[in-house]
């Protein structure tokens, strides 16, 4: 799962590239194989917290990753953030004393408060169209007829492990190295716990003003969006979002997860663009499950 600032997430915590001088190898990173990506990343990055870094998934790669992204929020008020376990597939609000207590206190979610939620009438209409019960938790695919977002909790992963993170992005979010190194942080960015309200927004695609609906399972745009991206809050003017955080109403039948290979590439690309002074999504962290696995038909074991 990747946690991003101003964008999407995976289930893996990633390291920032803004100070690493990696631009020279960026073009080749876009066509790297899994083994080459692993080797390049291991060479380019300082391991989290000074621990000798090893890629331990060569023989049994984890198929389940999550990343955290961030994007700037246009508001005069401060912002917010959030994350659930694989066993019961539900996030648990953090109410006990935690090293992230000050982070939780800083969450304001000013952005989502400016948006309109899905109306009760349209929610009922949507559930009826798909034959869903009133107890549906918004993790099942369905058309969303109106509103800017739907409330949904992330689906956590079993035995999460922090792979890498961005010290630069963490500092911008006022996260200390001690906080990032804590189990509480890993649980948060892996979706196993939440620190506040969480939601999914149907960020869609328009090309030259034309509504783009061919990826929508309903052919209308009512179900279009990033089906595995869940915002976990707004923190110091940045919206944090998990990519690979589980399914939402906008997913199109997949598992809601992200693989490590593509997560690393997205992390590299977003931080490369930042280093080139191109305003875009930032990557905060990358985490993997040491137990849960997923596969993709377009990736072979030897690729």
> Residues 68-94: pLDDT tens digits?
766 544 322 222 233 333 334 455 544
CB of 223 closer than 8 Å to CB of 217: yes
What local confidence, expressed as pLDDT, does residue 93 receive? Answer: 44
> Residues 187-218: pLDDT tens digits?
999 999 999 999 888 765 444 566 667 766 66
Strand partners, 3: 242, 285
What local confidence, expressed as pLDDT, does residue 31 receive? Answer: 36
Strand pairing of 92-93 and 193-194? parallel
Mean pLDDT of the chain: 71
Contacts 24+ apart (CB under 8 A), 51-56: 53/164
**Domain locations in the chain as residue ranges:** 2-204+211-289
CB of 232 closer than 8 Å to CB of 11: no
What average pLDDT does this structure show over 59-70? 57
Please provide residue 184's backbone torsions phi and psi, each rounded to the nearest 5 degrees: -60, -40
Check residue 25 and report its DSSP letter.
G
Q: Is the pLDDT of residue 249 over 80?
A: yes
Distance CA 160, CA 36 (A): 24
What average pLDDT does this structure show over 283-298? 82
Torsion of CA 254, 255, 257, 263, to 10 degrees: -30
What local confidence, expressed as pLDDT, does residue 181 receive? Answer: 93
Percentage of the chain lying above the pLDDT 90 cut:
27
Higher-scoring residue by pLDDT: 159, 24: 159
> What does 119-156 look like in DSSP terms, one character per residue?
PHHHHHHHHHHHT--TT--S-S-----S-SBEE-----
What local confidence, expressed as pLDDT, does residue 27 receive? Answer: 27
Q: For the whole prediction, is pTM greater than 0.75?
A: no
What local confidence, expressed as pLDDT, does residue 290 receive? Answer: 87
């Amino acid at each position: 799962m990747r946690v991003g600032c101003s964008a999407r997430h995976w289930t893996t915590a990633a390291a920032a590239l803004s100070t690493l001088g990696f631009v020279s190898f960026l073009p080749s990173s876009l066509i790297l194989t899994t083994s080459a990506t692993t080797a390049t990343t291991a060479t380019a990055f300082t391991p989290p917290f000074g621990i000798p870094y090893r890629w331990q998934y060569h023989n049994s790669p984890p198929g389940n990753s999550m990343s955290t992204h961030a994007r700037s929020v246009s508001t005069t008020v401060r912002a917010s953030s959030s994350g659930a376990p694989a066993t019961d597939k539900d996030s648990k609000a953090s109410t006990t004393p935690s090293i992230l207590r000050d982070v939780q206190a800083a969450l304001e979610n000013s952005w989502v408060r400016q948006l309109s939620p899905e109306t009760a009438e349209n929610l009922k209409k949507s559930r009826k169209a798909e034959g869903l019960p009133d107890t549906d938790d918004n993790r099942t695919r369905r058309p969303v007829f109106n509103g800017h977002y739907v409330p949904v909790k992330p689906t956590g992963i079993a035995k999460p492990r922090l792979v890498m993170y961005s010290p630069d992005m963490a500092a911008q979010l006022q996260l200390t190295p001690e906080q990032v190194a804590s189990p509480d942080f890993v649980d948060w960015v892996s979706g196993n716990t939440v620190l506040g309200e969480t939601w999914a927004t149907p960020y869609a695609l328009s090309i030259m003003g034309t509504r783009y609906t061919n990826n929508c399972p309903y052919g209308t745009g009512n179900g279009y969006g990033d089906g595995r991206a869940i915002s976990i809050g707004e923190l110091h003017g940045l919206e944090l979002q998990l990519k690979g955080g589980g399914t939402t109403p906008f997913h199109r039948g997949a598992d809601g997860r992200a693989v490590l290979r593509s997560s690393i590439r997205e992390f590299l690309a977003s931080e490369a663009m930042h280093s080139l002074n191109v305003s875009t999504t930032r990557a905060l962290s990358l985490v993997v499950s040491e137990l849960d696995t997923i596969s993709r038909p377009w990736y072979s074991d030897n690729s």
